[in-house]
A and B are shown apart, each in its own frame.
Chain A
């Protein structure tokens, strides 16, 4: 089981003492009317919308997508898909960590149909727990980078980002060129690291680096800590102080965010360290609990279409399809990579997160 602890509530329900059931009965009489009238009063427009659409088109034109990653891109993808299919999409936007947590919290009443995560191990975890629905016949799936997607069609990486070292160009005159450089005294107290419990891609880098370097990989992180590096929330929260000049460097920064800030004119740039780095694919998966199977499949098809892949490159991400190249960023073959085993990374993610958080506390 992915997180066995969570089964608890359902078991609890069986053993629920009579007293509580009674108390709950009281709650029902009490708030039944209040609650219902709330829903109606709170948002009459959406309520009437959904009933209208359900009546006119009983088929099914709803889809709930939980997505990580750049908000602009997510909005565009959803808009594009809505325009193409006429399906009404509800979207929850958060970091990979928040999405997984929300899925977990809603396990008893699943709401999501499709998830787009920023971490491959997270998608593998979903698959291993039997939570994903296979869709091997997805259009264009054969053109995807085979290393990043599931051969059985449980998840599809429609985009990817590489982890690098982002730095403020007006503060850092000699940019670092390797991961090891960041423990040098000239970068003391300058380094921000994204929190692996919030950023799936940061976690990918950490597990990938540890997998490639064995246990001695921890020495690098220890040396970062000794050099005054701090954990700083999710990717954007780590990058923003570097843009404003409060910090100089983000270690394991997602590159698309840096590219887009740089394109805006912010004093920032990125290097891919010489030891090699991890490229973190962003997998999309259909959940088995979906109530809107056909729409979910159509959405996956859309993600892999030429149009959506164009949007991906416009957001400075690496396209998931090998036949499409980006012209505004480094492509796959230009980035030195670490040799890492995704299965190992997937298995050890939780442990690495915990140890990492302890180290930086």
Chain B
């Protein structure tokens, strides 16, 4: 207690410093967007953004975006809810390897997944080469429904993880109690599961919604093909292709930003109203109501089909496209070649350089993000004071703001004429952007790890005369290490495949694997781009598995 008294001023200073750092990194760029959208020709015009929005057909684009978000919520729910139930209630859930496999769709860069689907489904694509009878599916697939399908297959792991966690917390006893009282399965679902799931579902649905409307890869590839414009592709068009208009881009960004913040507010209000406490003194256990028979077979079929559609088909296309000699010949054994890989992995090849810079940039970004994020998370800890809650709110903001909006803000700030630090157009700018974009992951993971540390541990340490630094080193750090590791891995994976920020801010003559792939689709060799996709996804998966096994060995020893 005495210790914490004497620490108070330092703590306060530290929180203040954190607020300054986060403010400069996150709040100022976002504020810049709003300011730029109301400043036209050097004077303040409050109506300007509204005029822009009314002039261009942004209202239509915004509606498109929201409609897409809602449909993808529906799509992911249809995929994730049965899956979560299966994994929580049947024997399939005990297969550990499925946990990693089910993360693959999410680790696949969305533009690659969409390209895979396009190559598979297009006229004379792989599907009609394999099964010519199904070629009349093509027009049906190249539609809004196809886009929803692709995005749902990419995003469902988010919702699934949340729902599964919630279902496991509910445990079997409540349902069994219902069954004993004579309730039918449907009644039990309606009166027990649904109300208890609602809060997690709301959280997951909101996350899916924000991810969908912030998504750039699928709209840029598939959406462009079917002529379905959304906000992110419009913003990207206004800042990166001729004729350029920063005014419109900032107005659209403000609109998108407002929509996301609004959604987040609604979600937090809703989840506060529908939260029940589920963790009591009794440990929860799995339900024993059903486990075998036809239900198991239906479940296996469902999981199999889900894996086929979310992983099998896209990866089949990607690998097929990367190993073709002549793209005009199509699938045939004598058209098979590994030339693209050989070309790509030649030392000094632009592709190899791109891969290397991806790895360096992600390593730097994830390391800095972990340090900064851990610091923030430890400051927030229990968010008792208003300033701690501010740190919490701001550090999680980049997760609620679409990536492209954040990037526009960062460009406006760091490329403005009055900026004395020449960071723009350097590697530093790229690392800074990745850190800002992916800071929330570390904060979230470390926060939840730190939240589980019981206060009595610290008190015990203090009783035995441990100084703050000693306590941090011997108690807090070892306990939050798994959280830091998880944050590091997440940041590394995501920054290694980040596309939209890299497209906009990479300095000349630097490419990352993501922009390399995108450039190959635009100007170069598609097979080379696909080979790069396979190599970089394979590489990140390898790193993840290594880290994961290192992490689990540590736990095991203890």
Instruction: List residues of A whose CB falls within 8 A of some B CB.
Output: 3, 5-6, 8-16, 20, 23-24, 26-32, 34-39, 41-43, 46, 64-66, 70-72, 75, 89-98, 100-102, 104-106, 108-109, 111-112, 122, 168, 170-171, 197-198, 230, 232-237, 240-241, 243-247, 264-268, 350, 353-354, 361
Contacts and interface: CB of A to CB of B under 8 A. Distances in A.
21 contacts: A8-B39, A12-B39, A27-B20, A28-B421, A29-B24, A30-B21, A34-B435, A35-B421, A41-B364, A42-B427, A96-B242, A101-B239, A104-B244, A109-B417, A198-B242, A236-B522, A245-B123, A246-B123, A264-B326, A354-B243, A361-B227
A93 B519 contact: yes
A33 to B, nearest CB: 10
B285 interface: no
A268 B20 CA distance: 59
A66 B421 contact: no
B505 to A, nearest CB: 10
A90 B196 CA distance: 58
B283 to A, nearest CB: 44
A310 to B, nearest CB: 22
A39 B245 contact: no
Interface of B: 17, 20-25, 27-28, 31, 35-36, 39-43, 119, 122-125, 224-225, 227, 237, 239-247, 325-330, 350, 357, 360-361, 364, 367-368, 372, 411-413, 415-418, 420-428, 430-432, 435, 507-509, 519, 521-524, 526
B244 A3 contact: yes
A244 B423 CA distance: 43
Contacts of A170: 328
Contacts of A20: 28, 31, 35
A90 B508 contact: yes
B122 A42 contact: no
A246 B368 contact: no
Contacts of B247: 5, 8
Contact of A38 (B22, B411, B432): B432
A6 B249 CA distance: 12
A222 to B, nearest CB: 17
A352 to B, nearest CB: 11
B432 A98 contact: no
A109 B424 CA distance: 9
Contacts of A12: 35-36, 39, 42, 416
Contact of A26 (B24, B420, B426, B524): B24
B327 A244 contact: yes
B337 to A, nearest CB: 12
A108 B21 contact: no
Given A13-B417, A108-B416, A266-B326, A29 B20 contact: yes
Contact of A95 (B245, B412, B432, B523): B523
Greatest chain A CB density within 10 A among B42, B227, B421 is at: B42
B380 to A, nearest CB: 17
Nearest to B122: A246
Nearest to B321: A244
Contact of B25 (A8, A16, A27, A235): A27
A266 B21 CA distance: 55
B243 A35 contact: no
B421 A32 contact: yes
Contacts of A232: 224-225
B326 A105 contact: no
A97 B242 contact: yes
Greatest chain B CB density within 10 A among A24, A29, A38, A43 is at: A38
Nearest to A19: B31
Contacts of A5: 41, 245-247
A14 B325 CA distance: 58
A34 B244 contact: no
Nearest to B23: A26
Contacts of B421: 28, 32, 35
A101 B242 contact: yes
Contacts of A66: 508
A13 B521 CA distance: 39
A229 B418 CA distance: 47
Contacts of B350: 71, 75
Nearest to B240: A101
Contacts of A70: 523
Nearest to A93: B519
A39 B423 CA distance: 8
Given A35-B421, A43-B427, A9 B416 contact: yes
Given A39-B427, A71-B519, 12 more contacts: A8-B41, A20-B28, A39-B431, A41-B364, A42-B361, A100-B244, A101-B241, A105-B239, A106-B425, A198-B241, A264-B326, A267-B328
B508 A111 contact: yes
Greatest chain A CB density within 10 A among B240, B242, B522 is at: B242
Contact of A241 (B21, B40, B122, B418): B122
A31 B21 contact: yes
A36 B420 CA distance: 13
A13 B36 CA distance: 11
A1 to B, nearest CB: 12
Contacts of A111: 425, 507-508
Contact of B242 (A28, A46, A92, A100): A100
Contact of A97 (B241, B417, B428): B241
Contacts of A104: 244
A27 B28 contact: yes
Contacts of B526: 240
A12 B122 CA distance: 48
A39 to B, nearest CB: 4
Nearest to A265: B326
Given A20-B31, A24-B28, A39 B239 contact: no
Contacts of B40: 8
Contacts of A89: 509
Given A23-B31, A34-B21, A104-B244, A39 B519 contact: no
A34 B431 CA distance: 10
A68 B526 CA distance: 18
Contacts of A29: 20, 24
A197 B522 contact: no
Contacts of A39: 423, 426-428, 431
Contacts of B330: 244-245
A8 B246 CA distance: 10
Which 10 pairs from chain A and chain B are nearest by CB? Answer: A27-B24, A11-B42, A92-B508, A39-B428, A245-B124, A30-B21, A90-B509, A30-B24, A42-B427, A97-B242
A11 B23 contact: no
A256 B430 CA distance: 34
Contacts of A243: 327-328
